[in-house]
Amino acid sequence: MKYKIDDQEYDVEVIKKNNKNTYLRVKDDLTILITTNFFTSKHSILKLLRDHEGDLRKMIARKCKEREKEENFYYLGQKYDIILVNTIKSVSLDYPYLYVKSKEMLERWLKKETKKVFMERLDYWYQQFEEEIPYPKLKIRKMKTRWGVCNKRDNSVTLNSRLMKYDPRTIDYVVVHELSHFIHFDHSRAFWDTVKKYYPMYKQVSKMLEE
């Protein structure tokens, strides 16, 4: 099944299950995925698509932005063209170029840089907090749906390695967000007041991450 939005055709995949609700999302390859119950007709599916075209545009734009970030090399919000130089011994940044010997060298360098930058921001913001919170252990991993995780059981903060593609203010927001969860382990008004106390522009950055 195909569906056209703004003169662009998209594949539509419909999965029918024994459930009451209908869910709509866009996959990484821009296929529109609909999960619904066995009795949903094609007419109802087409109406659902028409009624949610605005949402679909936003989801497609978000996926395209994510794909562009993945396909190109971004470092702290800046896009770099990678230049391979066989004689180079370490990674060299000279915007808009990044010079490196091999992909393996780049991966090792990026892993080291990620840990260094995340530790610096975590340590900085921890020291800004007036409330008594534990000094968290830092964990780093690539996550698809979350930018950060606070775990009060082992006093750890996990940051998404993909944050290194974004500018430092984005990393700062996620760090403040997760540290605030040591005080309020929910998304209550009190929690957001704590986030705002340390990061007044949190709404703008949060919206940017959601786009």
**Ordered mean pLDDT values, 10 residues apiece, the chain (211 residues):** 92 89 89 91 91 92 79 92 94 96 95 98 98 97 93 97 95 98 96 97 88 63
Predicted TM-score of the model (pTM) = 0.74
Alpha-carbon distance of 106 to 112, in angstroms, equals: 10
Structure tokens at 112: 């080291």
As a whole number of angstroms, the distance between CA 193 and CA 47 comes to 40
Helix (H, G, I), strand (E, B) or coil at 19: coil
- What residues does each domain of the chain span? 2-71, 73-103, 113-210
Phi-psi region of 208 (alpha: psi -120 to 50; beta: other; left: phi over 0): alpha
pLDDT (0 to 100) of residue 211 = 63
Contacts of 198 (CB under 8 A, 6+ apart): 125, 128, 129, 176, 180
Contacts 24+ apart (CB under 8 A), 92-95: none
* CATH fold of 113-210: Zincin-like (3.30.2010)
**Bridge-partner residues for 84, per DSSP?**
100
Backbone angles phi, psi at 28, to 5 degrees: -60, -30
Summarised one tens digit per residue, pLDDT across range 69-88 is 777 899 999 999 999 999 99
8-state DSSP, 145: S
Contact yes or no for 93/74 (Cβ under 8 A): no
Residue 20 pLDDT? 82
pLDDT at position 210, please?
76
Count how many Cα atoms sit within 13 Å of the Cα of residue 34 in the half-sphere of its side chain.
24
Pairing relation of β-strands 156-160 and 137-141? parallel
**CA distances (Å), origin 124, targets 1, 71, 76, 191, 198:** 52, 31, 17, 20, 12
